[in-house]
Structures are given as C-alpha cells and as structure tokens.
Structure 1
Amino acid sequence: MRIHEYQAKGLFAEAGIPTPESELARTVDEAVEVADDISYPVAIKAQVHVGGRGKAGGIKLVENTEEAREAADDILGMDLKGYHVDRVLVEEAVDFTNELYIGVTMDRGEGKPVAMVSTRGGVNIEEVAEEDPDAIAREHIDPAFGMHDYQARKVVYEAGIDAGLAGDVASILKTLYNLWEDSDASDAEINPLMVTADDDIIAADAVFNVDGDALFRHPDLEEMEETAADDDLEAKAQEYGFEGSNYVRLSGDVGIIGNGAGLVMTTLDLVDYYGGSPANFLDIGGGAKAERVANALDLVFSDENADAVVFNIFGGITRGDEVANGINDALDQFDEIPKPVIVRLAGTNAEEGMEILNEELVQVEKTLEDAVQAAVAAAEEVEA
C-alpha cells in the first residue's frame, strides 16, 4: 500500500524525524492561507502517487502570496502523469547546503532488510545505483535483532557523510529502520535528507510503502489507504476488469503484459535486470480472448510513463493465435502506434500467432530475454 508524502511525513514526525512545517490544502484559498501562516518562501507540492513531480510541474517554490495563489491554481486540478491532483502539501522551504539520501527496503537476494545511505541525494537514486553503485553504502540487518547503533554509524561513515553530521544522520536512519520494521513496511526513503547552513538535518521528502497483507495489524495505517481509484488509469483498469492483483501501476517506463502472475513477475525482474524500470504489472489471465488483450494494450498505451510495451505470452489455456488477434485488433484502433510494442509468444498455437501478427506494427522476438532487452532499449530511445 502506497501512502502520500504528507501521510509519510506525519509518521516520520511522530517517530521523531525532523520534517519541515507543512499543512495539507485542497483548495487554492486554503493553500494561500497556509502559505501566509507558514511565511515565505514555501513549496507547494502535488500529492499524488508518482515520482518526478518536480520535473512534471507538480512542485513549485513561491516567494509571496501572489505566487502562491498562481502555483496552487496551476497544480490543483492538473493531470500529473495520469493522476488527477486534488490536494497539495504547502511546506516551509528549506534553505539547504547539501542533500543526502537514506532508505530501508528488503533485499530479497540476501533475504534481509538493507539500509542505504548516499551523499547523492536529491536525484533519482535508481539512476545513481545504475551509474555509480559505489555511491550508495549498504548495510544488511538481521531482522531477529534489528538495527544496532554501530550498524547505523558504520553505513553512514561508509557513505562519506561529514563527521560533524554523521551522528544525527545515523540516529535518523535507525529511527527510520525501526519505523519500517514496526509498520511492516516494504520501502522507506528520505530523498532528499537536507542539511541546512546550521547543520540541522531535515526530511524534505518522504516515501513510505506498507505491505498490504499486514494491514490487519495496523488499523491506523489501513485508514490511510485510498480505496477508490485515484487516477484515470486505475479507473480504466477496473472498467476493463483488471482489478485487484491483475493490475498494479508502477513508476517506470516499460509497460508489461503477460498471462499469469508468475510470468509477469519474471518479466518485471528481467526488465530490472537489463537496466529498465517497469511501468506496470498487468496479468491478463489464462484463456484471455482478443477483446481482453486489446483492452490490456489500450490500458498500457494510456499510461504516459510507459514508453514501450513488452508482451510476454506462454500458451497453455491462452492460445497464441487469440493473443495475436487481440494485439492486431488493438493496434488497428490507432492511426499511428503510440509506442513500440515487442511481442514474445510461446506454447499453444505460438507459430500460428507469429504468422498472424502484423510485423509492420510490432517487433517479434523468439525469446523472453531478447524481447525484454528490445523493450528496455526502445524505452531508452524514447527518453533520449
């Protein structure tokens, strides 16, 4: 379960992590009133479940009442990467001298939680991990004992944090880990963790995702869940019958469609392995007919984040020729194909499906590895 930045910062503040003064607003007048009360400069930040808000125009720094009104009017009601913005966080601006990163997640390869610290805060940490993995210090934690003080200090020093700040950063990291553990969270991040001219440390952003299967133990967190679809894509997914575990929107740029949860998860893992970032999880299920396949493609095409689509089908109950007809039907709806589509078919009637596919509109690959690499490369080309 994803929660909004303002909700995460509330949890952080309760746990003792310093956060800027802020308040939620749902109208332009509310936003201006809060900004005037906090005193300028302030940041006005769209509250939607998507990354890259600043680049997309969803975060603005304002210096006075007039600018606050203009910014709130621009952000409230905007479509931000497919999400409708109906609330903003009005927050005290932080006069910072440095930006750090700290985070806690589960390293499934090691079977342990891992704490991460970097001096490269304020930028996409996934890009840092890919381009310069040594810029992120990591410390695995034994869940039976939790994070020891020496482990927090160790990973902070290994990251190259200034000695004068290391104690405070280590303390915040340990608090973040304890909150992550106590809440059955899946991810907890502060990016950036800002350093002020007075060497104060402040959480300027907050990401906190909770394991949905553990919410029965956390009724306070369960109340934060938004039960209604909070964007047009989720509403469309429900309209098409891709509900619950069939469709999950992610923040990457490679759309993924497959038949079977395990097959889709394997595709997600391969996209990540080959340096890409999944835009969604979409399982069309076994025995999917042409109409359902067409709906799946339309759904992923509607995602502004997805720059390419990989279609991974292994025929069992689902027949390859039915899938191929569905792909052709979906693509026939467009005068111009909006994004590259890469298809891998295997199993029942796969050869028949390959013959049916219009290769002028899709790229066909024989192996899943080749299909994923082609999709990652296509998405990178669009970004470039």
Structure 2
Amino acid sequence: MKLHEYQAKQVFADAGIPTPDSRLASTVDEVMDAVDEIGYPAAIKAQVHVGGRGKAGGIKIATSAEEAREAAESILGMDLKGYTVDRVLVEAGVDFENELYVGITMDRNEGEPVAMVSTEGGVDIESVAEETPEKIAREHIDPAFGLHPYQARKVVFEAGIPNDVAMDVASILGTLYDLYESRDASDIEINPVMITSDREVVAADAVMNIDEDALFRQPELAEMEDEAAGDELEAKANEYGFDYVRLSGNVGIIGNGAGLVMTTLDLVDYYGGSPANFLDIGGGAKAERVTKALDMVFSDENVDSVVFNIFGGITRGDEVAKGINEALEGFDEIPKPVVVRLAGTNAEEGMEILNEDLVQVEGTLEDAVQRAVKNAEEVTQ
C-alpha cells in the first residue's frame, strides 16, 4: 500500500523527523487559505502516486497570491500521468543549499534491508543508481539487530555528507529504519532531504510503502488505505480482487499469472510498445472475472489497444473465451481493439468459441503482442 506524500509526512513528523509546515487542500479557495496561513514562498504539490511530478507540472512554487491561484487552478483537476489530481499539499518553501537522498529498502539479492544515502538528492535515484552508482553509499542491516548508530554514521560519512549536518542526517536515517521495521514498510525514503541556509535538515518529500499483508498489524495505517489509493481503477482492482498496477503506456495487458503478465509487458516493450498496466486475473478465472478485467482496462483512457494472454492450467480456455465474448457483446462498438492468445487447457475449444468479429486471434504470444502494439500505433497516428 502506497501512502501519499502528506500521509507519509505525518508519520515522519510524528516520529520526530523535521518537515515543512503544510496543509492539504482540495479546492482553489482552500489553497488560498493555506498559503495565507503558511506564507510565501509556498510549494503546491499534486498528491498522486507518480514520480516526476515536478517535470510533469504537478509541483509549482508560488511567491505571491496571484501565482498561488494560478498554480492551484492549473494543478487541481489536471491529468498527471493518468491520474486526476483532486488534492494538493500546500507547503512552506524551504531556503535550501543542498539536497540529499536517504532511504531504506529491501535488497533481495542479499536478503537484508539496506540503508542508502546520496548527495544526489532531488533527482531520480534509479537513474543515479544506474549511471553513477558510486554516488550512493550503502549499508546492509541485519534485521536481528537493526540499524546500529555506528552504521548510520558510517554510511552518511561514506556518502560525503558535510560534517556539520552529518549527525542530523544519521539521526533521520535511524528514525527511518525504526519506521521501516515497526510499520512493516517495504520502502521508505526522503528525496530530497534539504539542507537549509541555517544548516538544518528538513524532509521536503516523503515516500512510504507498506506491506499489504501486514496491514492487520497496522490499524492506523490501514485506515489510510482507501484515501491513499487515489485512483479509481486501482480501487476497482481491490474490489475485484485483481493484482493490478497502472503504468503510463497505451497497450492494455491482461493475463493469468504474474510471470505470464510480466513476460507480456517485456514483449510489449521489446516490440516498441508501451504497457499501460499490469493486470493478473489469477488462476481459475471464469467468465464473470474476465468481464470485470476487460471493463477495467477499457475504463483506462490511456489504453489504445488490449492484448489478452491466457495460458490454461487451472484456467480453462473456453471459460475465458466466454468471458471475452460476453464482455464485448455488451458494447454497441468495441472501444479498443482486442487481441487474444489462448494456450493450454481447452485452448482449442476457446479459439472456436471466440467471436472473431469482436476480437483478433493470434496463435502465439509474439504475434499477439506485435499486433496489439501495431493497433496502438495506428490509433495514435
């Protein structure tokens, strides 16, 4: 479960991590009231679960009432990488001199959490890790003992953090690990930690993802779940019991099994397309469940074509075919071209059942993906 920035910052602030004064707002008038209380300059930040909000126009700095109103009017209601912005965080501006990155995540190769610190804050940390990995200092943590204070100091100094703020950054890192452990987090980070002109450290952003299987131990965080979802499609996926992740592309993907869906995503990318989602309908999916999956993908305005990849084990190809037919027969006009590939249990029966006036049928996964990518390209031309 992903927390919004404003939710994660509240958790951080309650734990003693310094955060800027802020207010949540959902209307232009609420934004104006907030900046009147906070003062200028103020940051107005879209509260949606996407990265790169600033580059996409979802974060603006206002130095006057006129700029604040213009920012609120442009951000509220905007489509930000497929998400409609209905809330913004209005936050006091920070007069900073440096930006740092600190975070805790699980290193699955080592089987241990890892603390990471970098002087390259404020930018995409994945890009830093890929292009200049030496700029990220790392320290693995034995979960039996936790993050020792000497380890926090060690990784902070290895990252080259200035001496006069190093202990404060190490303290924040220690608090992050305490939250990571006690709140059943899967990832927790601040990007950036800002160093002010007064040499104070402030969490200017907040990322906190919680292990959904542990929510029964986190009732306070579980109460934030519906509010944190922030996306109608993801909320619908939870209602239907699907494993679903919304992406930024235009080729909708439906499959049965996480590995099968991931393979389809990789092939869409390989053949020059851009995946719009990860949607696993699970094993044993019958007609009603398949109908719901198609309804979800068709509801995504970014989707220009759909590829259906089913390998029958528990799932029967004829049941899937019935679901596809039932879903598509309900439309006066098919909203997006659908390509279907069936294999495995009752696949031949399913192929015979499929209404080829409604779908395009391919015998191999590669052919199905290439056709779906081509369909999407034709829509965008």
TM-score of the aligned structures, taking structure 1 as reference length: 0.77
Correspondent of 2:344 among 344, 347, 355 = 347
Corresponding residue of 1:315 = 312
**Which range moves more in the overlay, 4-13 or 128-137?**
128-137
Corresponding residue of 2:173 = 173
How far apart are the structure 2 equivalents of 1:141 and 1:373?
Answer: 44
Residue 224 (1) aligns with residue 224 (2): yes
How far apart are the structure 1 equivalents of 2:41 and 2:49?
Answer: 25
3-state SS of 1:19 partner: coil
- Once the two structures are superposed, residues 186-243 of structure 1 have per-residue CA deviations (whole angstroms, 9 ceiling, x without a partner) of 21111122223343222111011222333333333233232697433245x36xxx62
How far apart are the structure 1 equivalents of 2:119 and 2:275?
Answer: 23
Residue 35 (1) aligns with residue 35 (2): yes
Corresponding residue of 2:296 = 299
Unaligned runs of 5+ in 2: none
- Once the two structures are superposed, residues 87-106 of structure 1 have per-residue CA deviations (whole angstroms, 9 ceiling, x without a partner) of 22110112333322221122
3-state SS of 1:192 partner: strand
3-state SS of 1:51 partner: coil
Indicate if the aligned counterparts of 2:96 and 2:197 stay in contact, CA closer than 8 A. yes
> For residues 65 and 264 of structure 1, do their structure 2 counterparts lie closer, same or farther at Cα, with a shift above 3 Å needed?
same
How far apart are the structure 2 equivalents of 1:228 and 1:19?
Answer: 20
**How far did residue 112 of structure 1 move?**
1.8
> For residues 73 and 3 of structure 1, do their structure 2 counterparts lie closer, same or farther at Cα, with a shift above 3 Å needed?
same
3-state SS of 1:189 partner: strand
Corresponding residue of 2:26 = 26
> For residues 229 and 132 of structure 1, do their structure 2 counterparts lie closer, same or farther at Cα, with a shift above 3 Å needed?
closer
Corresponding residue of 1:63 = 63
**How far did residue 49 of structure 1 move?**
2.9
**How far did residue 174 of structure 1 move?**
1.2
**How far did residue 38 of structure 1 move?**
1.5
Indicate if the aligned counterparts of 1:284 and 1:292 stay in contact, CA closer than 8 A. no
> For residues 162 and 211 of structure 1, do their structure 2 counterparts lie closer, same or farther at Cα, with a shift above 3 Å needed?
same
**How far did residue 334 of structure 1 move?**
4.7
Residue 137 (1) aligns with residue 133 (2): no
Identity fraction in percent? 63
> For residues 218 and 299 of structure 1, do their structure 2 counterparts lie closer, same or farther at Cα, with a shift above 3 Å needed?
closer
Corresponding residue of 1:120 = 120
* Amino acid across the alignment from 2:242: N
Corresponding residue of 1:243 = 239
> For residues 334 and 138 of structure 1, do their structure 2 counterparts lie closer, same or farther at Cα, with a shift above 3 Å needed?
farther
Larger Rg: 2
Corresponding residue of 2:190 = 190
Corresponding residue of 1:205 = 205
How far apart are the structure 1 equivalents of 2:365 and 2:16?
Answer: 51
Indicate if the aligned counterparts of 1:102 and 1:118 stay in contact, CA closer than 8 A. yes
> For residues 116 and 70 of structure 1, do their structure 2 counterparts lie closer, same or farther at Cα, with a shift above 3 Å needed?
same
Indicate if the aligned counterparts of 1:267 and 1:372 stay in contact, CA closer than 8 A. no
- Once the two structures are superposed, residues 143-194 of structure 1 have per-residue CA deviations (whole angstroms, 9 ceiling, x without a partner) of 1100012222232333343444433222211111111111111211111222
Question: Aligned residue pairs: how many?
Answer: 370
Indicate if the aligned counterparts of 1:264 and 1:283 stay in contact, CA closer than 8 A. no
How far apart are the structure 2 equivalents of 1:357 and 1:151?
Answer: 62
3-state SS of 2:103 partner: strand
- Once the two structures are superposed, residues 80-126 of structure 1 have per-residue CA deviations (whole angstroms, 9 ceiling, x without a partner) of 34434332211011233332222112233332212222233222323
TM-score of the aligned structures, taking structure 2 as reference length: 0.78
Indicate if the aligned counterparts of 1:187 and 1:207 stay in contact, CA closer than 8 A. yes
Correspondent of 2:278 among 244, 262, 280 = 280
How far apart are the structure 2 equivalents of 1:152 and 1:375?
Answer: 49
CA RMSD of superposed structures (Å): 4.2
* Amino acid across the alignment from 1:264: A
How far apart are the structure 2 equivalents of 1:175 and 1:373?
Answer: 48
Indicate if the aligned counterparts of 2:187 and 2:208 stay in contact, CA closer than 8 A. yes
* Amino acid across the alignment from 1:206: A
**How far did residue 365 of structure 1 move?**
8.3
How far apart are the structure 2 equivalents of 1:286 and 1:343?
Answer: 17
> For residues 41 and 294 of structure 1, do their structure 2 counterparts lie closer, same or farther at Cα, with a shift above 3 Å needed?
same
**How far did residue 73 of structure 1 move?**
2.7
